Amino acid sequence: MSFLDHVEELRWRIIKGCIGIGVGIVIALVFQNFLIDQVLLGPAQSDFISYQLFGIDAVDLSLLSRRLPGQFFAYWGTIFIMGVIIGSPILIYQLWGFLVPAFEDTSKWKVKTNTLFITFFFLLGIGFGYFVLVPFALQFFTQFTISSIIMNQFDIGAYFSSLTEWILASGVVFQLPVVSYYMSKFGLLNPAFLRKYRKHAIVVEFILAAILTPPDIVSQTLVAIPLILLYEFSIHISKLGIKHRNKQKAK
């Protein structure tokens, strides 16, 4: 294909990916009441499921809309983010289908399998961020005070942006096994390297957990442990990538 043909293919794949996001937004609009009351505002309520599972002594958050368009932006922000999450498999499939032929010959079923692989870890990270990271962070900041005369009341815009950042950051971090597999498959990484720097990785994971969570040891440990397990899993995934690379070289 010529350069312009590649650009044309990329354009159509982006359009198809955006259509997938659009479908996700429509689905989010259909279930908007559930998404607003149960998903967006769920962690703000003391009876949220994660507080019961982890035995957290939770309190209700006091949320305010301090700006005129505050609730408007929170509403459409929620619909858009949920639309992106719902439509992400289609977007990932289109972008991956464009990128992979640059590295190897592949079939549609392989692209679909790879899309499921990437989407699974992305959604796993989203779930981890929503059900583990967010509850601990919210309750820490809600109950942290420097004086009894200061009340914690949070703006709905700040609440929504923090929720989004924590959840999407978790989704990106959980792509570690995906990165490990494809870097190994393309000869840029190997299990021996990952084992050699395991101790360094654990330190980095605890630092990352400290950045993503409030400054208390419990929440940091709860975030660091899954990251460590992801790293160990990435070592085995790297072996699989090397194995596939050797098969292709043999062919």
How far apart CA 67 and CA 20 sit, in angstroms, is: 32
Query: Rounded to 5 degrees, what angle do the CA atoms 64, 70, 73 make?
Result: 135
What value does the mean pLDDT of the chain take? 85
Q: In percent, how much of the chain has pLDDT > 70?
A: 94
Q: Going by C-beta distance under 8 Å and a sequence separation of 6 or more, which residues neighbour residue 128?
A: 170, 174, 226
The pLDDT tens digits of the residues spanning 195-221 come to 988 999 889 888 877 776 666 677 678
Domain segments of the chain: what residues? 1-173, 175-251
The model carries a pTM of 0.82
The pLDDT tens digits of the residues spanning 63-94 come to 888 888 888 988 998 899 999 999 988 988 88
The pLDDT tens digits of the residues spanning 120-152 come to 999 999 999 899 888 888 888 888 888 888 888
Q: Which residue has the higher pLDDT, 118 or 221?
A: 118
The pLDDT tens digits of the residues spanning 46-58 come to 999 999 888 888 8
